[in-house]
Structure 1
Amino acid sequence: MEILWSSLQSTAGSILLPLILAAIAALYFIWKRTDSSAGGFFNHSTSTLAMYSKDLTQMAAEGKLDPVIGREEEIERVIQVLSRRTKNNPVLVGKAGIGKTAIAEGLAQAIINKKVPSDLLHKRVLSLDLASLVAGTKYRGEFEQRLKRIMDEIIAAKRNIILFIDEIHSLAEAGGAEGAVDADDILKPALARGDLQVIGATTAKEYKEFIQKDVTLDRRLHPILIDEPTKNETVDILRGIKRKYEQFHQVHITDEAILAAVHLAAEHIKDKSFPDKAIDLMDEAAAKVSIEEVDHESAKDWPQVGVAEIQSVMQEWESDKIN
């Protein structure tokens, strides 16, 4: 019996040990790829870039990003500009709320799904949190020092990072302490050398006011005009993302509710753009239903968000308007 047990242990060991070693090797490879694809510098406890950015490619890999609906042409255009030899830094130009950030997220998803050219396959799309980067920098040069550290880390990444900068025009205003170096002056040398590749987002007004006037910066960037989605396109967008909102709020959103959200947003909200204003309406209606009816054991018991709930939130918004 003891001989049999020893034999079994030996056999199990000979089978399990290689499997365990293979699993450890695979985990190490995944960790190294996550780390080295950001240039090998990503010590999250000390990295300035990690502190002031979020990794859209990692979020895409983990399924944390919403589906990007109806922006295939724009994403393809971004990929095309990124693949140029020169002036390969696209800037998404359009009204606030039309989904410029979603296009950057769509690029991250395309990279994860291997639907990009080979030159982009190992890139990581990092979204810079400009507001946090600026926050608390009241003394001369503080903001610039943070930005320089970020530039150093990106350069160390050996061109494996694409930096998404929402409201990129703000860099011309950021810092601003007397005697400090302009933030965009820190970026220009890295852009010129090709050490830094960015995707910017801004409005047409700010592009003309802050970027076009700076000839050196403008020649490194390429604007891509982004149109506001139509009502029908917005309906498709809401249909595409509703599952994420249903899971978050634990509700069922009817198709009639989606149609009502788009219609009422178009009729009553003139100072915002599609798809944001319709998404906001759907989101708050789902939140309203969710907090009124809680503790559902299974998805089939989730409450329903219909036209009445959309109308109710719209009425609340109307009463909240500031004259």
Structure 2
Amino acid sequence: IEILKGLRERYENHHRVTITDSAIQAAAELSSRYIQDRRLPDKAIDLIDEAGARLRIKRLTTPPELKELEAKVAKVSAEKEQAVKDQDFEKAAAMRDDLESLQNELKDKETAWHEGGSDVIAEVVSSTTGIPVVKLTQAESKKLLNMEAELHKRIIGQDEAVSALSRSIRRTRVGLKD
């Protein structure tokens, strides 16, 4: 991970994207787990490079929601200027507040658009290996913890089988092997 952090700036400059710490962490973990034909840190570096390239290509076209937000900002700005010309300062103040919130929202979305997080790394791993890499969300973790009780509600008289099945599913989802 330290090697990847050291190389981060070089790849950020090369691909003109921002690589987050979570992306570096995900690259190390997912490459170790799913890519077997190469060694660390080489395979993690390749993942970071591929993710940076994908982000750069994706950035060539602006997403419709960003274009829409930019148009809103321009419209509100023009309305504010018109209110100032008409000396309707209350309306201009309200427009200024709206404009400020829209600009903040636009800035946040643009930052997210330029950032490469763990989701991009997972996407690269998935396309490279053909294995769907689904994160264990907290909701999914909760389901796994309560799975045995839920199965007992529906399957009667098969306690041992339900326990074995639950253990096996949990082990598989966590990535452990016998």
Q: Relative to total residues, which structure has the larger strand share, 1 or 2?
A: 1
TM-score, scaled relative to structure 1: 0.24
Task: Determine which structure has greater relative contact order: mean sequence separation of CA pairs < 8 Å that are 6+ residues apart, divided by chain length.
Answer: 2
TM-score normalised by L of structure 2: 0.44
